[in-house]
C-alpha cells in the first residue's frame, strides 16, 4: 500500500482529483466508486472545475456510491443521494441512468442488496474507488465487527458514528440508526482504491488501518491486502503512524 503525506487539505484534494482525471483520460467509460462525507468535497470540486475547463467528461462514466441511510428519501437534505447530487453529480455531464446510489427506502433489502452487487458486476466492476474513513476505522458504513468478506448489506450504526454524523442533523435523535452499505469485500474488488483522511480525530483510525492487525475491528485494515491502494493523509491524520 502507498501512503502519501500531503501538505494540507488542498494538496490532498489535488492528488485525489488527479487520480480520477488520469483514470478518465485513459478510459472515458470508467466505472467510479464514489463516497460521501466532508473529506472528498475538495476532490469533487476539482473534478467539476476540470470538467468545466473541458479537460474531462463524465458522459460515458458509470458511478456507484458506497452507502445510504435507511429511512431517508432521496430528497431529504441529509440523504447521500441529495448530497452527491448537490456536491458533484448535478454539476457534471454524468448520465442519470448510469448513476447508482443505494436506496434508503426499499421494501425488500434481501433482493435489493443483491441487485446492487449485480449492477456493479454487470458494469464490469469498479475501476477507481474513493474512500473516507470513520473515526472508528469504518470504510463506507462497515462498522467494527463487520466481516471482511461482507457484501452489500444493511447495518446498525455505531454510537460513535451517530455522534460523528450528528453535526449534519438538527439533533442527534434525527440521525438514522441503520444504513445500507457496500460490504468490505465489495470495496476490495475495486481495481484501484484511494483513501483520504484529514485531522487528528482520524489519526487512531489511520494508524489501525495501516499498521494494525488486519481484522474486522478496523474494517479499513482490510485495505492492507489490496494490491493497488493509496492513502492520502494530512499531517494530523498521519500523526500516530510509526516509522517502519
Ligand atoms: C460516513 C460515511 C463514510 C465516510 C465517513 C467520514 O460515515 N459513511 O463513507 O468516510 O462518514 O466522513 P467525513 O469525511 O465527513 O469525516
Domain ranges of the chain: 2-234
- Of 117, 118, 85, nearest in space to 99 by CA: 85
**Is 242 tagged catalytic?**
no
Is-catalytic flag, 217?
Answer: no
Confidence of residue 244 (pLDDT cuts 50, 70, 90): low
pLDDT band at residue 177 under the 50/70/90 scheme: very high
Place 243 in a pLDDT band, splitting at 50, 70 and 90. Answer: confident
What Rg do the C-alpha atoms of the chain give, in angstroms? Answer: 17
Q: Which atom of ligand 1 is nearest to the CA of 202?
A: 16
Ligand 1: residue whose CA is nearest its atom 12: 37
Average pLDDT of 75-102?
98
Phi, psi angle pair for 191, to nearest 5°: -75, -35
Q: Which of 68, 127, 143, 189 is catalytic?
A: 143
| Cβ proximity of 126 and 193 under 8 Å | no
Separation of 24 CA from ligand 1 center, angstroms?
24
DSSP designation for 68: E
Q: Is position 107 annotated as part of the catalytic site?
A: no
CATH among 3.40.50.1360, 3.30.750.24, 3.40.50.800, 3.60.20.10 for 2-234? 3.40.50.1360
Output the pLDDT for position 81.
98
pLDDT band for position 68 (cuts 50, 70, 90): very high
The residue whose CA has the least distance to atom 7 of ligand 1 is: 134
DSSP assigned state of 142: B
- Give the pLDDT of residue 9: 97
Contact 105/180 with Cβ under 8 angstroms?
no
Residues 6+ positions from 177 with CB-CB distance below 8 Å: 70, 156, 157, 162
Helix (H) or strand (E) holding 232: strand 229-233
Amino acid at each position: 500500500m502507498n501512503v502519501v503525506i500531503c501538505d494540507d487539505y488542498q494538496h490532498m484534494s489535488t492528488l485525489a482529483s488527479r487520480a480520477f482525471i488520469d483514470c478518465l483520460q485513459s478510459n472515458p467509460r470508467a466505472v467510479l466508486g464514489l463516497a460521501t462525507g466532508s473529506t472528498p468535497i475538495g476532490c469533487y470540486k476539482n473534478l467539476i472545475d476540470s470538467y468545466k475547463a473541458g479537460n474531462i467528461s463524465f458522459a460515458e462514466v458509470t458511478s456507484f456510491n458506497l452507502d445510504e441511510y435507511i429511512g431517508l428519501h432521496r430528497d431529504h437534505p441529509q440523504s447521500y443521494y441529495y448530497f452527491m447530487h448537490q456536491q458533484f453529480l448535478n454539476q457534471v455531464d454524468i448520465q442519470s441512468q448510469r448513476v447508482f446510489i443505494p436506496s434508503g427506502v426499499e421494501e425488500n433489502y434481501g433482493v435489493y442488496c443483491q441487485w446492487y452487487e449485480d449492477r456493479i458486476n454487470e458494469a464490469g466492476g469498479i475501476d477507481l474507488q474513493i474512500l473516507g474513513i470513520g473515526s472508528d476505522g469504518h470504510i463506507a458504513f462497515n462498522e467494527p465487527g463487520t466481516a471482511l468478506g461482507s457484501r452489500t448489506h444493511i447495518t446498525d450504526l455505531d454510537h460513535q458514528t451517530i455522534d460523528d454524523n450528528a453535526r449534519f442533523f438538527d439533533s442527534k435523535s434525527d440521525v438514522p440508526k441503520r444504513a445500507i452499505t457496500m460490504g468490505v469485500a465489495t470495496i476490495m474488488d475495486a481495481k484501484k482504491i484511494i483513501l483520504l483522511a484529514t485531522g487528528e480525530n482520524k489519526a487512531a483510525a489511520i494508524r489501525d488501518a495501516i499498521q494494525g492487525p488486519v481484522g474486522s475491528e478496523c474494517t479499513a485494515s482490510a485495505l492492507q491486502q489490496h494490491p493497488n491502494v493509496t492513502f492520502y493523509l494530512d499531517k494530523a491524520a498521519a500523526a500516530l503512524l510509526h516509522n517502519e
